[in-house]
Amino acid sequence: MNKTDELASTHLGKKSEGSNNYNPSLLVAIPRYENRKQYNINENNLPFEGFDVWHAYEFSALTENGLPVTRVLKLRYDCTSKFLIESKSLKLYLNSYNMTRFGSNISECIEICKEKIEKDLSEKLQTRVTANFMENNTERVEIFKNFNNIMNFVDEKTLNVEKFKEAPELLSTENFQNAKNYYLMFDSLRSNCRVTHQPDFGDLFLYYKSKKHILEDSLVKYLSSFRSEFHFHEECCEMIYKRLYDLLEAGDELFVCALYTRRGGIDICPARWSKNCVVEDVFKLADIKEFARGSLKQ
């Protein structure tokens, strides 16, 4: 067992009682470098920018007089951080707030929780983590309106998918004289937790600008090949980015984002883009202020 799996196994795959009182010691940080080095991603010269956004839909605490306060919690930190947070440890940590009393009223409770969460996670991950609470979890910032379902460009009758372990050799391209913009969405991304092997489902959003055209049927086959992979969400996003980055030409624009569905009350939404990619131009219909705050969902 490597160091990453050893750390991830602190809580994953085990019966955990958690804590009825606020307990930051439950948090477990996972180093990013072990998975990155498999794909020749240089920690000191990352080929992308980006962030990880987490949504915890079941955060709750108490005021000093015992009044329950429940909100959706949004967390954001940069992909340049040396560590990512292990999801079950985060859930146990957030659950430790459930029966703990903070503040004389709801506003004070929320502010105290925000300060503690930002401090604890920033110290654990050795990077700046921002936390915000949302009162309404039914709204969604529609920043992917101009992305098209990749299956609209594929003849599924002739498509034969046979490989279900990550297979970059499936990717193929054709060349054009001029660079073109591509906005694609794949709604059947599936990978698996590297420790518990439980399935994780999500939507993959891809933008690139290049003289190279990545054939859509080859993209479907490649993205489908993650179906039997065992990695964290952030790792899958970076793997896909790096494979496409290596396939395209120097100077091409590239953006990859995976919006995974929630599991255990938490979803993870990693986004990575090339340093020459102007994100505001990618999302012409986006609420840019929300995106700049790291908001992929609201």
Is residue 48 within 8 A of residue 275, CB to CB? The reply is yes
Catalytic residue among 79, 109, 113, 193: 193
Extents of the domains making up the chain:
3-134, 148-292
Is residue 289 within 8 A of residue 297, CB to CB? The reply is no
Is residue 267 within 8 A of residue 261, CB to CB? The reply is yes
Q: Is 200 noted as a catalytic residue in this protein?
A: yes
How far, rounded to the nearest angstrom, does the alpha carbon of residue 19 sit from its chain's CA centroid?
26
User: Buried (b) or exposed (e) across 134-151, using 16+ Cβ within 10 A?
Assistant: beeeeeebebbeebeebb
| Beta carbons within 10 angstroms of residue 293's beta carbon | 14
Question: What's the pLDDT tens digit per position in 118-139?
Answer: 999 999 999 999 999 876 544 4
Amino acid in the structure at residue 210 = S
Catalytic residue among 200, 203, 217, 252: 200
Amino acid in the structure at residue 45 = N
Question: What's the pLDDT tens digit per position in 8-60?
Answer: 555 454 455 667 899 999 999 999 998 899 889 998 899 999 999 999 988 99
pTM: 0.82
148-292: CATH topology:
GTP Cyclohydrolase I, domain 2 (3.30.1130)
Q: Is 193 noted as a catalytic residue in this protein?
A: yes
Domains 3-134 and 148-292 share a fold: yes
Report the relative pairing of strands 253-260 and 266-273 from DSSP bridges: antiparallel
3-134: CATH topology:
GTP Cyclohydrolase I, domain 2 (3.30.1130)
Question: What's the pLDDT tens digit per position in 187-227?
Answer: 889 888 887 788 888 899 999 999 999 999 999 999 999 98
